[in-house]
Amino acid sequence: MSKTQLTRKQEAFCLNYFELGNASEAARLAKYSPKTAGQIAINNLCKPAIKARLAELEAMLPDPVNTAVATVQERKEILTEIARGKLTDFMEAGMDGSWINIDNEKMNSRSIRSIDSKTEYDEETSQAAVLTKITLHDPIRAINELNKMEHIHTDGPAINIDNRKVEIIVNSKEEKEITERLMSGERT
């Protein structure tokens, strides 16, 4: 169990977040209000005690090489590779032309979405040409996913919901009338 003291909801949030990787869903499953789950999730992920608990959970995992599910770090590395991928990473040029060179050791090879190759023949000369089409994953989507993982942005505006109440105390009838006019929208 954690050395840090967490509430039951916070512990449930940590366990759910660790399993799902989705902070808002983890907050909802931990029985936080569905209306405020997104904001609570963001707030929770900033708390040192929750960060420490998530680090403890990560440390309890077996060696990631032997697990079937990619860790958060692995997912970030893959998305970064996709975001940085360029077609020139896979092309080489020499005296006799250019060619495609792809292997698992090549930088940013995970950025490849598909490779299509076909051979076309020139009817007049009977010479063959191999046409290779490489499609890369969308780097903008990868960057967006990384931003979501790092909580750099949210899908909507941040709304702080609290129970604040403003009380205006006036000492005269004139101040009351001015306050009422301002509250009704008058700005002069």
The 10s digit of each residue's pLDDT in 125-163 is: 888 877 778 888 888 898 888 888 877 765 566 666 677
Greater pLDDT, 51 or 105:
51
| Cα(27)–Cα(47) distance, integer angstroms | 14
Q: Which of 21, 40, 53 is nearest to 150 (CA)?
A: 21
Class of residue 149 by CB neighbours under 10 A (exposed 0-12, middle 13-18, buried 19+)? middle
Q: Helix, strand, or coil here: 1?
A: coil
The predicted-structure confidence for 25-47, as pLDDT tens digits, reads as follows 999 999 999 899 889 999 999 99
Class of residue 32 by CB neighbours under 10 A (exposed 0-12, middle 13-18, buried 19+)? buried
Query: In this model, does residue 104 exceed pLDDT 90?
Result: no
Ranges of each domain in the chain: 66-157
> What pLDDT does 2 receive?
45
Q: DSSP assignment of 7-59, as one string? A: -HHHHHHHHHHHHH--HHHHHHHTT--TTTHHHHHHHHHH-HHHHHHHHHHHH
* Prediction pTM value: 0.42
